[in-house]
Structure 1
Amino acid sequence: MTHTPDELFASTAPYYARFRPGYTPEFYDLLTERFGLDGTQRVLDLGTGTGVLALPLARLVGHVTALDPEPGMLDEARKLAAEQGITNVDWRQGDSTTLSAMNIDPVLLTVMGAAFHWMDRDQTLRDLDHLTLPGGAVVLASGGAPGDIEPAPWLEIINQVRTRYLGPQRRAGSGTYAHPTERHQDVLARSPFPHVETAHWDRTVTRTLDQVVGLQFSYSYSSPAQLGPHKDAFENELRQALTDFSPEGRFEELIRTEAIIATRI
């Protein structure tokens, strides 16, 4: 069974909105201080998903343009915005390849949450150069690079169950996925935004069994679409394996928010 990336992300949307941990408040404090956010600026959220970055930023700036190629993700984002009374976000279907054709007004910041690795990074930065106001920046938010933090022991249990159902390589659509070998910082250093700063914050998150299981369905590589008719069997086996590991149903994980801020020199 093969799927397009859009199909995979569509099936993750409700799980993404409920179970992804988001970014630490200190990240938004840094952006506010660094760029003087005072409720008047314009921001672009490229690859917004369910608005993990767009919704908090909407409270700090005047307007957010939030792009995502998947309508299901945008639908979830609109629901969350309505629930939170947020009205200054323009949710639009699009991606890094459509930037030049979308008539987006100039922005102070472009933010991306763990989406840059899916793009033609060099071309995207060239296109953003034309959209970014003087003094503006590109900001990449993520959980850090693979291997930055020692993984919680229960993650290996999940990997073992996932491997039995989906194989040892990370799935991506009809093929597999490999993280780019060139660091984002190195790509940025040769771009129109070559002054690169990196900051990170670590915090411990404690999840229930239901939250850990739901989180797995928020990833494209173990999405409901990817698992297909084996989703229920996967979930049952995963629940049993995790319960054997932690009968009390408590799962702690050290997670990182990393911010890479790239500005013009």
Structure 2
Amino acid sequence: MPQIVNTHQSEAWNGYEGRHWADHHDRYDQVNGGFNAALLDAAALTAEDRVLDLGCGNGQVTRLAARRARAATGIDLSGPMLDRARALAAEEGVANVTFERGDAQVHPLPESTAAISRFGVMFFADPVAAFANVARALVPGGRLAFLCMTALEGTELGSVLAAMGEHLPRPTGPDGTGPTSFADPDRTRAVLTEAGFTGFGCARVEAEGVWGRDVADAAAFLGEWGPVKYHCDLAGPEAAARAREALTEALRPFEREGAVRLRGSAWLVTARR
């Protein structure tokens, strides 16, 4: 059994949250996949690289990295998502990829020349410990490139989630916690510096994500997303119904070209060991 210290996140990602992501892997990749090219280009992968994908989830980025590199290893807390990642790698015939269940704060990570992550580093209980562990796995001069969420204010997703605010607490919590724990680049720089990284870079990038084929489909999907479902369950059926109605209305302006499309914003962070 792997050593797990981030028990709260382990419970979530091996429970409903992880199963939902595994069962709907294609939909989550449609939401986040627009950022893949920017991440992989920033990592500057070559055919000789050994890549570590942090919080790899269902493994789309791991598989894409493996196609550019000598080998890629994905690490994640979620058993359901790792099972999906292995199945997809086999289905796609990507042989130079492995997946390990572990907590990045303490897991014995394989020696790597590059570490990457698409929205998989925001939930560390102790981010300095996690990134210091990653730094130990990287060879001298090894590269780090990851995507993390910006503040939600002023973004299209932020406006959609805010529409439920009259009926529910904001599902993602205050900026600076949870999914937006690295929304402040100054904090990110401080964490990475303490963990042993240098050459910090941070650029804002945007990409369009597809949340559903129409408003009803997108509202149903977002309504079953773990943080939204959790707060709806706490609020009770009447408040949850009002929140879901508000969510549906907030999504209407974003239906175009046969889909509901929200433009997403992220920080693309780079550094060196």
Tell me the TM-score range normalised by the shorter chain: 0.7 to 0.9
| Paired letter, 1:111 | I
**Does structure 1 retain, via aligned residues, the 8 Å contact 2:114–2:143?**
yes
Q: Which string of whole-angstrom CA distances, capped at 9 and with x for unpartnered residues, describes residues 186-220 of structure 1?
A: 211233112201123223345432134324434x4
User: How many angstroms does 1:233 deviate by?
Assistant: 8.4
CA distance in 1, matches of 2:171, 2:147: 25
Task: Give the 3-state SS of the residue equivalent to 1:98 in structure 2.
Answer: coil
Q: Partners of 1:190 and 1:138 in 2: how far apart? A: 15
| Alignment size in residue pairs | 246
State the match for 2:3 in structure 1: none
Aligned with residue 213 of structure 1, among 213, 217, 220: 220
* Alpha-carbon separation, structure 1, partners of 2:170 and 2:248: 23
Q: 1:105 aligns with which of 107, 110, 131?
A: 110
The offset of 1:179, in angstroms, is 5.0
Q: Could you say what secondary structure the match of 1:29 adopts? A: helix
C-alpha distance after superposition, 1:131-173 (max 9, x if no partner): 1112212222123344474656433334455x1xxx45657xx
Aligned-pair identity in percent equals: 20
In structure 2, the residue matched to 1:203 is: 207
Distance 1:64 1:126 in 2: 20
Tell me, yes or no, if structure 1 residue 125 matches structure 2 residue 131. Answer: yes
Is the contact between residue 65 and residue 89 of structure 1 (CA under 8 Å) also seen in structure 2? yes
Which amino acid is 1:86 matched to?
Answer: V
What CA RMSD, in Å, does the superposition of the two structures yield over aligned residues?
Answer: 3.6
Is the contact between residue 148 and residue 266 of structure 2 (CA under 8 Å) also seen in structure 1? yes
TM-score (norm 1): 0.74
TM (normalized to structure 2)? 0.72
Higher relative contact order (CA 8 A, sep 6+): 1
Change (3 A) 1:110 1:243: closer
CA drift of 1:10 comes to 2.5
Change (3 A) 1:38 1:244: closer
In the TM superposition, residue 107 of structure 1 has moved relative to its aligned partner by 0.2
- For 1:235 and 1:27, locate their aligned partners in 2 and report how far apart those are by CA, in whole Å: 36
Q: Which runs of 5+ in 1 are unaligned?
A: none
Question: Do the aligned partners of residues 196 and 7 (structure 1) sit closer, same or farther apart at CA in structure 2, a change above 3 Å counting?
Answer: same
Gaps of 5+ in 2: 1-7
Q: Map 1:241-256; keep pairs closer than 5 Å.
A: 241-244=246-249, 250=255, 251-256=260-265
- What letter matches 2:76 in structure 1? D
Distance across 2 between alignment mates of 1:132 and 1:60: 18
| Partner-residue secondary structure (3-state), 1:99 | coil
Corresponding letter in the other structure for 1:136: G
Measure, in 2, the Cα distance between the counterparts of 1:246 and 1:147: 16
The whole-number CA distance in structure 2 between the counterparts of 1:169 and 1:96 is 25
